[in-house]
Amino acid sequence: MAENYQPDPVFGRLGQEDGAPFYDCVEAAAFPDHILRYRNQRWAEHVGLGGLTEAEWTNHFGRFESLPDNLTKPLAIRYHGHQFRGYNSDIGDGRGFLFAQLRDDENRLLDLGTKGSGKTPYSRFGDGRLTLKGGVREALATEMLEALGVYTSKTFSLIETGEALQRHDEPSPTRSSVMVRLSHSHVRFGAFQRLAFEKNDQAIGDLVDYCVAQFYPALAGKDGAQKAVSFYASVIARTARLAAQWMAAGFVHGVLNTDNMNVTGESFDYGPWRFTPTADPHFTAAYFDETGLYSFGRQAEAGAWNLAQLGGALSLIADEEALNAALQKFTGHYEEAMAAEYFRRLGVERTGADDFEFVGDLLQWMAASGAPYEQVFYDWFCGQASEKRADKSPAAEFYMQEKFSGIHNRLAAMTPVRSERLAHPYFEKTAPCTMLIDEVEAIWADIAENNDWAPLEAKIKTISDMREAYGFEASLYEPLSGTE
C-alpha cells in the first residue's frame, strides 16, 4: 500500500459485537469470472490505492479480500425507508455492503461500498447481483455529475463477473458485474427510520454521535438533544444544496426514496437516472414513476418530504418544535443554493438579492423555448466572454428570440469568473458533452452486441476534458455556514 493509505474502519465499532442494531456481518459472493472493466485511478491515488496491480485490485474489489488494517468482514447496513411515500420495513443492504473505510489525502473519511456483491439478510427475493449495464450506467452518471459540479459518490471499480442474469426491464439473460463506489457516507435517512421503528432511542443517539464526529465535528460540543437538532439543520442545508445541484446539472435521479438519501447530502445510488434534454419540470426518469413524483421539477419537494421523515425519527431524542423550525428553513436554503449553483454553472459572479429571481426567469425561458439544456450553459459560460461563441452555436436561433433579450442583457452585465477557462480546447467545439438517454443506450449497445468498450472509454475521456475545462470542485466536502 502507498504511504497515503489511511485505513479507518470506524463504522464497524458501532453497536454490539454482531453489529446490532446498525449492520450485519456478511460474506461476498463467489463469482465465476473477474474481468476489470473500469478503474478510477484518479480517486485511487487520493486514497492510497493507486499502486495496486490489476491482480491486487481484482482480489480486493472482485473477490473482496480485506484491505490491510480495515474491516475484516463486509457489513450489510440496516435501514428501512419510504419508497414512493410508502413505508417499507423489509429493506436494507440487499445487494451491497460496506467493504472498507479509509481517509483521503485531505483526511476526509470515505467509504468503499459495493453494489451487486451478493445476497445479504435483506435481499428478500433478489439475487444480490448487478447487471453490467447497471454498472456502466452508474459509472457514466458519476463521471458526468462530478464534471458538472454535483457532490456525488464516485464509481471506483467495475468488474464483469461472468454470470447470466434474468431481469424484467432489459433483454435477458444479461451480463453481470460487481461495482464498488467511493463516498463520504452510506448512512441513509432510512437508517434512522429503522431505529425509530424499533424505538431504539439509544441507538439513534449513537448514530447521531457517529455522524457528528465524522461529518459535522463543529457540532461535537453540543449536548445530546441540541446536537441532534443542529445535525438535522446541517443535513437540511446539504440536502437543499444537492437538490439545487441536480437542477443546475439538468439531472433527474429518478428514485428519491428515503433510503436513497444520506446524511452528507451526497448524491449516490443511481438506478433509472436521466439527464433532461430541456428545462421541462415534468421530465421523469423512471418508467414506473407514473405520477411524476420524482420528476425534474419536483426533486426539491422530494428532498423536503424525506427530510421531514428524518426529522420524525430524530424526534425520539430531540425537541419536535426545534426540529420543525429547522425544517422550515429548507426553502430559504434551497433558493440560496439555486442561485449559487446556477451562477456557478454560468461561470459568473453573483449580483445580489434578485439572483434567485434571475434563475427563475432563465428556467422559465428555457422551458418555454425548448432550448437544449446543456447547450445553453455551454454557450454562455462566463457570460459576456462567450458572446461570440454563442453567436456560432447550433442553438443561436434561440438567443435571437425577443423573450431572451432580458436574459441576455443580464448576462452581459455579469462579471465572468476565471474566464481563462474558456481557453481550454473543450470550448472550441460547437456542442457540449451531453449524456442523454439515447447516448447511454448507444454506448451499451456497442458493449452488449460487439463487446466494444471503445465508445465508453471515449465518452469518459470527453467527460474528463469537460471536468478539467470547468474546474468545478464537486468532490469537496466543506462546512456550510448558517445551518444551526
Instruction: Print burial letters for 301-339: b (CB count within 10 Å at least 16), e (below 16).
Output: ebbbebbebbbebbbbbbeeebbeebbeebeebbbbbbb
Tell me if 330 sits within 8 A of 337, measured CB to CB.
no
Q: Which three cell numbers stand for residue 299?
A: 426533486
Q: Which three cell numbers stand for residue 370?
A: 425548448
Paired residues of 114 in beta bridges: 180
For 468, other C-beta atoms within 10 Å of its C-beta total 13
Contacts of 461 (CB under 8 A, 6+ apart): none
Tell me if 156 sits within 8 A of 178, measured CB to CB.
no
Q: Which three cell numbers stand for residue 253?
A: 435521479
* Count of alpha carbons within 13 angstroms of residue 245, beta-carbon side: 22
d(CA 231, CA 313): 13
Tell me if 262 sits within 8 A of 188, measured CB to CB.
yes
Q: Which three cell numbers stand for residue 456?
A: 465508453
d(CA 234, CA 326): 9
| Residue 50, SS3 per DSSP | coil
d(CA 361, CA 131): 41
Q: Which amino acid is it at 15?
A: G
Q: Which three cell numbers stand for residue 435?
A: 449524456
Single out the catalytic residue among 93, 259, 355, 379. Answer: 259
Q: In this structure, what DSSP letter does residue 60 have?
A: H
Q: Which three cell numbers stand for residue 290?
A: 407514473
Our answer to whether residue 18 is catalytic in this structure is no
Q: Which amino acid is it at 293?
A: L
Which class for 346: exposed (0-12), middle (13-18), buried (19 or more C-beta within 10 A)?
Answer: buried
Contacts of 221 (CB under 8 A, 6+ apart): none
Closest Cα to residue 301, out of 346, 267, 256?
256
d(CA 92, CA 87): 13
Omega within 30 of 0 (cis) for the link into 277:
no
Active-site positions? 259
